[in-house]
Amino acid sequence: MISNEPSYKERRNKRWIAISLLPAVALFIVLTAFPVVNLLALSFFHVEWREATSAFSFVGLDNYHRLFSTEKVFWDGVRNTAFFAVTAVSCQMVLGFSMALAVRTAGSYGRAMLTGIFLLPIVVPPIVIGTMWRLIMGREFGLANMLLRLLGLGPVDWLGNPDIALASVIFVDIWHWTPFVFLLMLAGLESLDGEVIEAARMDTRSRCQQIRHVVLPMMMPTIIVTLLFRVILSFKVFDEVYLLTSGGPGTATEVVNFSIYRTFFRQDQVGYGSAMSIVTLFAITVVIILARGLAQRRAAQRSTVS
Amino acid sequence: MQSFITPFSRRSMLRACAAAFIVAAGAGAALAQSQPPITMAINQSPWLNSFVAMVDEYEKETGNKVELDVTPFGGLLEKIRNSVRGAQGAYDIVNVNSLWLSEIYSGGFLAPLGDVQAGYGLPEGVLTYGDTTNWDAEAGTFAGGGALMGVPVNGNVQVLYYNTDIYAKLGLQPPKTWDELLANAQAIQNEGEAYGFVPRAARDSIVYNFTPYLFSHDAAFFRIAGSGKADVVVNSPEALKALETYVKLATESGPPGPGNIAQGELIQLLATGKGAQAIAVIAAWGQLEDPNASRVVGKIDAALLPAGPAGTVASSAGHWVAGIPRNVPPEKQKAALAFLDWFAAKERQVDYVRAGGVPVRGDITGADLGDDAAFRFIGAYSQNAQHAVMGLPFAQAAEASDAMALSLNRAVIGEMTPAQALNQAAADLAGVLERNGFAVTKLPDL
């Protein structure tokens, strides 16, 4: 009779797999799961300090009700963040890909030089970037307006005009993060099969055709991963807004993270700030799952066609 | 000449002297360390060096040690919260900005100074900046009759800055009323050499900067109407007049884009001579008089803020108060109070001003400083300090301030009329008060 029971060796292997995974699981629980569960729990409370002791009052879904019924600034931030993410990431993807193509086709000397130049913004600390661009975009003494004056053009209030303040912040973000996209795209281009590219060069009539029909499809996995990275990071935008405009004028440059920071830290509304954080976390997770699902479905369709 | 000291007695003498020296040195050391060393959390502000100079003086004079943990403004509140909320505090003194006072007082984190040393009161002459050194725990607000919670260490109230060169050229006088300030601003603006008035109307600081306008018009954000009761009055006709004045000054006689002008831009415009008048904290004086940072050294003067229609003057309190946390040992608390008491004495405050600090006493005159022109701000400072007010004297001040800031800022950038902005601010403020347990009454919409 053949037993279905796992052998001693199999049991030992399974045990060993479980034990070897334990440190990673423990780290995940301590560093990721616990903070999120704690955040979720806090979102159902109102926390006050009396006589140097914290007093937790259970308020159920009140914080969420308030967030969805009376809150204004946070939702302005959501709208701006979504616009920010779509605009900034689209520009970064196009620019980063173009820069990577330019470097890929350049000679070895030009390649080293261009890579160095293109990567410069990403090595500058965010605090320096904010300060630097605030000085450049200052209405009275900023470099940008000095250059405009040389051209006989009037000064522009880059950060003080509510109609263009968000565009100015997006511009700084594009400047800051395009090198990141460039780097990943360059790595993707470098890993493409040289023979396929060579064959494409002979089979296509123009460079545009080659890029559109051969390079882009082959680069799709890299593009999707980079896009996901950038969307997630752009939802986390904080330092540029904090240093350039502090969310103003009005709510012209308000973003989600700035609202959470103000609520959580400045106003010390721990419960309400947690509810904002949970809603944001949930929304970003949904976006990522949807994006991944779409990408996988598309890949499946493509493999079926081929 | 024969010596009366034999070799033996000479040796004894030397031993006695050595013993006496050791005893004296020991006693000296004991005196020098009469207080245990203390640590203070403090902000990295422009006046920090003057405070460091006073700490050096204290250590030299008494032998006691004060260690300063210096943190940028943005991170100090979190450091203070982390320390005072723990079982044992990391800091024996915490330097609390006026914006955070109500939160720190109401949380019960500080030891009333009367508990640290029975019967302790602020030395005579020390300013309380609208009673903000005292907290009435029962009523949940600042009150002169409440427990003394701290000693001010920097009296950062607002003053009116004006460029004396431009004033002389146009024959202007320091304004006594808001209308006069507006007239001066328009005269300067029309002349075209400089902006008539530089407003500070960025969202994060607009409530603080609107406060003197509001209170000088005999209006307020809200009034406590009894235990747990509040009347929201920010949308009163007087408040509307105040906001109209604020918006007019910000939009008609100043630089474009006032809705994003923060303190940094304001000081920059004054220091370069591009701004002729502004209302700003007295701590800016040092920068305006620094030859390495200013083109208007010796050309700027300070004055009392303009009065409202009934002659009321108000200046926003932006001072710092040093408190002693409950969660440090009693001997450290006593050492902390010894230092703060030493610091508040008049002669030390004169030294503090000479070192570049802003005093916390109202009895220091130009004569105390040898009538040195470098300290010509002292008269205007003392006058404004007497009129210091706290706009939002309750624990949720930060939440209330942020709630109203958006509407006020929108009024400045033209997205709302002043009446709409005040109605919205009143609704938002009422919401904050109600959420925090107040029974609220509100004026009808404007």
Write the pLDDT tens digit of every residue in B376-393: 999 999 999 999 999 998
pLDDT score of A287? 87
Residue A56's nearest CA partner among A261, A260, A264, A270 is A270
Chain B nearest-CA distance from A248, in A, is 6
User: What are the tens digits of pLDDT across the range B316-353?
Assistant: 998 999 999 999 999 999 999 999 999 999 999 999 99
Q: How far apart are CA B250 and CA B266, in angstroms?
A: 12
- Residue of chain A minimizing CA distance to B257: A160
Those of residues 96-115 in B touching chain A at CB distance below 8 A are 103, 106-109
Among A45, A46, A47, A49, most B C-beta atoms within 10 A, so best to mutate, is A49
Using a CB–CB cutoff of 8 Å, tell me whether B295 touches chain A.
Answer: no
Tell me the ipTM for this assembly.
Answer: 0.82
Predicted confidence (pLDDT) at residue B358 exceeds the cutoff of 70: yes
Predicted confidence (pLDDT) at residue B32 exceeds the cutoff of 50: no
pLDDT score of A248? 86
Domain B158-316+391-442 in CATH 3.40.190.10: yes
Out of B109, B265, B402, name the one closest to residue A262 (CB).
B402
Among B96, B203, B394, B412, most A C-beta atoms within 10 A, so best to mutate, is B203
Using a CB–CB cutoff of 8 Å, tell me whether A164 touches chain B.
Answer: no
CB contact under 8 A, B107 and A50: yes
Predicted confidence (pLDDT) at residue B71 exceeds the cutoff of 60: yes
* Contacting residues for B430 by C-beta, under 8 A, at least 6 apart: B232, B440, B442
Choice among A44-53, A219-228, B17-26, B266-275 with the minimum mean pLDDT = B17-26
Among A254, A260, A266, A272, most B C-beta atoms within 10 A, so best to mutate, is A266
User: What are the tens digits of pLDDT across the range B79-99?
Assistant: 999 999 999 999 999 999 999
Using a CB–CB cutoff of 8 Å, tell me whether B269 touches chain A.
Answer: yes
What is the pLDDT confidence band of residue B28, given thresholds at 50, 70 and 90?
Answer: very low
Centre a 10 Å sphere on the Cβ of residue B237 and count the other Cβ atoms it contains.
Answer: 13
Predicted confidence (pLDDT) at residue B31 exceeds the cutoff of 50: no
Extents of the domains making up chain A: 64-305
Q: If you compute the radius of gyration of chain B from its CA atoms, what whole number of angstroms results?
A: 25
Q: How far apart are CA B384 and CA B157, in angstroms?
A: 7
Per-range mean pLDDT, top range of A152-161, A232-241, B49-58:
B49-58
DSSP SS3 for B60: helix
Using a CB–CB cutoff of 8 Å, tell me whether A262 touches chain B.
Answer: yes
Using a CB–CB cutoff of 8 Å, tell me whether A195 touches chain B.
Answer: no
Extents of the domains making up chain B: 31-154+320-359, 158-316+391-442
Average pLDDT, chain A: 90
How would you classify the pairing of strands B38-43 and B66-71?
Answer: parallel
Out of B269, B399, B413, name the one closest to residue A269 (CB).
B399
User: What are the tens digits of pLDDT across the range B321-331?
Assistant: 999 999 999 99
Predicted confidence (pLDDT) at residue B7 exceeds the cutoff of 70: no
CB contact under 8 A, A249 and B413: yes
DSSP SS3 for B442: strand
* Contacting residues for A259 by C-beta, under 8 A, at least 6 apart: A73, A74, A77, A247, A276
What is the pLDDT confidence band of residue B266, given thresholds at 50, 70 and 90?
Answer: very high
Those of residues 393-412 in B touching chain A at CB distance below 8 A are 396, 398-399, 402, 406, 409-410, 412
Those of residues 191-210 in B touching chain A at CB distance below 8 A are 202-204
Assigned superfamily of B31-154+320-359: Periplasmic binding protein-like II (3.40.190.10)
Chain B nearest-CA distance from A210, in A, is 48
Please give the model's pTM, rounded to 2 decimal places.
Answer: 0.85
Chain B nearest-CA distance from A71, in A, is 10
Residue B182's nearest CA partner among B196, B203, B166, B202 is B196
Query: For the domain bounded by A64-305, which CATH number is listed?
Result: 1.10.3720.10
Q: Tell me the mean pLDDT in the region B237-257.
A: 95
Contact B411, B248 (CB under 8 A): no
The backbone torsions φ and ψ at residue B246, rounded to the nearest 5 degrees and listed phi first, read: -60, -45
Predicted confidence (pLDDT) at residue B368 exceeds the cutoff of 80: yes
The number of C-beta contacts closer than 8 angstroms across A and B is: 94
CB contact under 8 A, B259 and A54: no
Contact B438, B229 (CB under 8 A): yes
Residue B215's nearest CA partner among B189, B184, B231, B238 is B238
Average pLDDT, chain B: 90
